[in-house]
Copies of this chain bind each other. A is one copy, B any other.
Amino acid sequence: MNELIGRVFNFEKTVFPSSSELYGTLTRDGQSPKALMISCADSRIVPEEIMQARPGDLFVCRNAGNIVPPYASMLGGVSATVEYAVAALGVRDIIVCGHTDCGAMKALAYPEGLEAMPNVAAWLKHGSAAQTVVDSCQGHLEGDDRIRAMIYENVIAQLSNLRTHPSVARAMASGEMSLHGWVVDIHQGQVLGLDGQTGQFTTLRENTPLPVAVPAQARYQMAEAAE
C-alpha cells in the first residue's frame, strides 16, 4: 500500500481526538471561514501552512495554476466555489495565490511540452492574458525570469477574471470585498503581495502596510450622483 495512504488510519486515532473540541464546534455551528484562497494544486504549497490556518479558517479552491475562469462559463468548478464562498458563506477577502517554480506557469511560459496534455493546455487558455502581456511587455526575459514574470502576470489576469463574477462585483460595489494577489516564493520563504495602485508586487512584512490588489471601496451611491 502507498505509504501516504496508510497514514489516514491516524486520523481517527490521533488527529481528530487532539482537535475534537474544534471539530465539535465546527460541526455544531457550521463553518464561517474568514477568507477564500484560490491556489495551485502543487503539493508544496499548503494554504493552511502558509496561513497557519486551523480547520474552519480558510475556504480553499485549488487547481493547476490557480486559475479563475471569467464568469461566462456556467458549469465551472471555480465559479461555483467562488459563488458559494461569497454568496452562501459571506466571505469578504479573496486571495489569488501563485507560487514560484509553478509547473503550470512554466508551461504557460514555454508551451512546447503541452502537446501531450490537451486538458492542461485548454485550461491554461484562461492565462492567455498573462502570456500576451509577458510576450509583449517583457519579451526580452528568458528562463526563470520569464517564468517569474508569468507567475506575477497570471495572478493579475486571474484577479481581472475574478472581478467579472456577479457575487464578487456585488460585494465590491457595496464596499465589502477586498481582493488580494499573492505569490509564495518557496525559494526565499517569502510571500509577495500585489499593490493595485502601483501594479507592483512587494514582500509582505509586518512593519509595512499590507499591499492590496483591490481594496474595499463602496460605489453604491453612484446612480444618485449621476442624476
Binding site for B on A (CB under 8 A): 1-13, 15-17, 20, 23, 26-27, 30-31, 33-36, 41-46, 48-53, 55-65, 67, 69-85, 87-88, 92-93, 95, 100-101, 103-104, 116-120, 122-126, 128-133, 136-138, 141, 145, 148-149, 152-153, 157, 160-161, 163-167, 169-170, 173-174, 178, 180, 182, 184, 186-187, 189-192, 198-206, 210, 217, 219-220, 222-223, 225-227
Contact = CB atoms under 8 A, between A and B. Distances in A.
Report the 3 A-B pairs with minimum CB-CB distance, sorted nearest first. A16-B189, A70-B70, A80-B123
Contacts of A122: 74-75, 79-80
B41 A174 contact: no
Contact of A161 (B93, B123, B164): B164
A80 to B, nearest CB: 3
B223 A149 contact: yes
Given A33-B43, A35-B2, A169 B129 contact: yes
A189 B23 contact: yes
A6 B208 CA distance: 12
B88 A129 contact: no
Given A77-B123, A136-B174, A200-B225, 5 more contacts: A12-B205, A27-B101, A70-B71, A72-B126, A87-B116
Contacts of A7: 51-53
Interface centre among A58, A120, A184, A190 (most CB of B within 10 A): A120
